[in-house]
Amino acid sequence: MSRVAVIGAGIVGACVGWELARRGAQVVFIDAGRPGEGVTNWSFSWVNAGNKTARRSYFDLNVVGMAAYRDLARTIGPDSWWHPSGHLRWADDQAELLENARLLADWGYRVELSTGADVRRRLEPALAIADDVPVLFCPDEAWVHGRRLVGRLVDEAVALGAERRFGTAVRDIVTGSDGSVRAVVLSDGSRLEVDCVVNAAGPDASQIAGLVGRELSMRHEPGVVTRLSCAGVPVRRAMHAPHVEIRPDGNSLVVLHSREVDARIEAGEDASQLARRLRVLARRVVPELGGATIAATRIAHRPIPADGYPSVGALPSVPGYYEAVSHSGITLGPVLGRLLAAEILNGNSADLLADFRPERFRGQERVG
């Protein structure tokens, strides 16, 4: 029976570990923090493929990721983590919006073209949006409560025999004379003998990769997410307005994000300033948020490999080392968990991951 150390207990690590545990592997979850409380809890948590059209293979992987969520909900039960309520988008550049809609339709993706007036009547009455503005509605998209889902998956894996090592970091990965993974050494001084490791460490993935002599280049793209507290949440689904992204987050919270506001992080604005900017933008779109207060804000560093696409699978130069690093961790978590578990335990190399293998970054392994 394989013993696998899953480094990182965010959405991707939780999905990988759960899939491995239910297939009979001995899993050890390792995280310096608490499960699901890192980037997973501070992302927009939008399950979609409609925003992933730059490369067809990436779009296709995300479509399968959406289907994997529906499978997951049927398997473990939807509870309070799963919200398949669709997604709305409208934009200042209407021509680009409509072109994107045509492309998605050509690729067989369900997208409905509506107007601001119709959206207010049928879907979101609280929006301040002009009657004639074109709006795209993608009914198959969703949002998830990432921290709750991670907690559920880790608990289920533990019930199947998985171990938890939280509050301690990986200090070293030990390899044998043949270069294969043999053990991990933790910051608390313990050593765990393992057959393989999965690097699902999110923003810390390059540091973990370095422990096996790999230079995994990552983009530096910090993002700020704010939660507003309100007596009643006035929106029902995730949406992208021209300058701000808004979604519900339970019965009393709303999540906000904006790439425009992200751009001000490098200018030195602190989290409280950024949060106020987000609140102003959100109130313009949803006036009922006028009385909402800022509950919490976090600047998180997104785990994005240098070329912008996931790095998933075995690294041939280090037997027993696997990567599961992706910016689209929320959408891709369940499908990456399924595919990587099959690769680790059965040697199955999925065609869906052909464009996203770690070895595409050639020349990034150090010798000696």
pLDDT tens across 194-212, in order? Answer: 999 999 999 999 999 999 9
Q: What is the pLDDT of residue 161?
A: 98
Same-domain pairing of 230 and 97: no
Q: Are residues 101 and 160 in the same domain?
A: no
pTM for the whole structure: 0.96
Distance CA 163, CA 26 (A): 8
Residue that is last in its domain, among 98, 121, 139: 139
Alpha carbons 197 and 177: distance in angstroms, whole number: 17
- The two tokens of residue 113 are 């073209």
The CA distances from residue 243 to 100, 281, 282, in Å, are 18, 7, 9
- In terms of domains, do 28 and 92 share one? no
Note whether 195 and 318 are same-domain residues.
yes
Burial class (CB in 10 A: 0-12, 13-18, 19+), 166: middle
Dihedral angle computed from the Cα positions of residues 73, 75, 79 and 82, in that order, rounded to the nearest 10 degrees: -10
With a CB cutoff of 8 Å and minimum separation 6, the contacts of 68 are 334, 335, 338
- Residue 41 is predicted with a pLDDT of 96
66 within a domain of the structure (yes/no): no
For residues 340 and 295, state if they share a domain.
no
Return d(Cα 319, Cα 306) in angstroms, integer: 23
- Rounded to 10 deg, the angle between the 11-22 and 329-346 helix axes is 30
3-class DSSP state of 208:
helix
Torsion, CA 352, CA 356, CA 362, CA 366, rounded to 10: -110
Interhelix angle 56-76/146-159, nearest 10 degrees:
60
- CB-based contact 7:30 (threshold 8 Å): yes
Predicted local confidence at residue 361, as pLDDT: 86
Q: Are residues 297 and 184 in the same domain?
A: no
- Sign of the alpha-carbon torsion through 336, 227, 87, 51: negative
Same domain, 198 and 260: no
Residue 131 lies in a domain: yes
Residue 251 confidence (pLDDT): 87
Do 173 and 197 have their domain in common? yes
Model pLDDT, residue 363: 53
Q: What pLDDT is stored for residue 367 in this prediction?
A: 38
Residue 70 lies in a domain: no
* Same domain assignment for residues 314 and 350: yes
The residue segments making up the domain with residue 284 are: 222-301
Distance set, CA 75 to CA 46, 69, 214, 330, 341 (Å)? 20, 10, 36, 18, 17
Residue 137 forms beta bridges with which residues?
A: 88, 112
The count of structural domains within the chain is 3
CA distances from 146 to 14, 45, 82, 158 (A): 10, 7, 9, 18
| Tens place of pLDDT per residue across the chain (368 aa) | 799 999 999 999 999 999 999 999 999 999 999 999 999 999 999 999 999 999 999 999 999 999 999 999 999 999 899 999 999 999 999 999 999 999 999 999 999 999 999 999 999 999 999 999 999 999 999 999 999 999 999 999 999 999 999 999 999 999 999 999 999 999 999 999 999 999 999 999 999 999 999 999 999 999 999 999 999 999 999 999 999 999 999 889 999 999 999 999 999 999 999 999 999 999 999 999 999 999 999 999 999 999 999 999 999 999 999 999 999 999 999 999 999 999 999 999 999 999 999 999 875 444 33
- Other C-beta atoms closer than 10 Å to the C-beta of 331 total 29
**287 and 312 both lie in a single domain:** no
DSSP conformation class of 213:
T
The CATH number of the domain holding residue 205 is 3.50.50.60
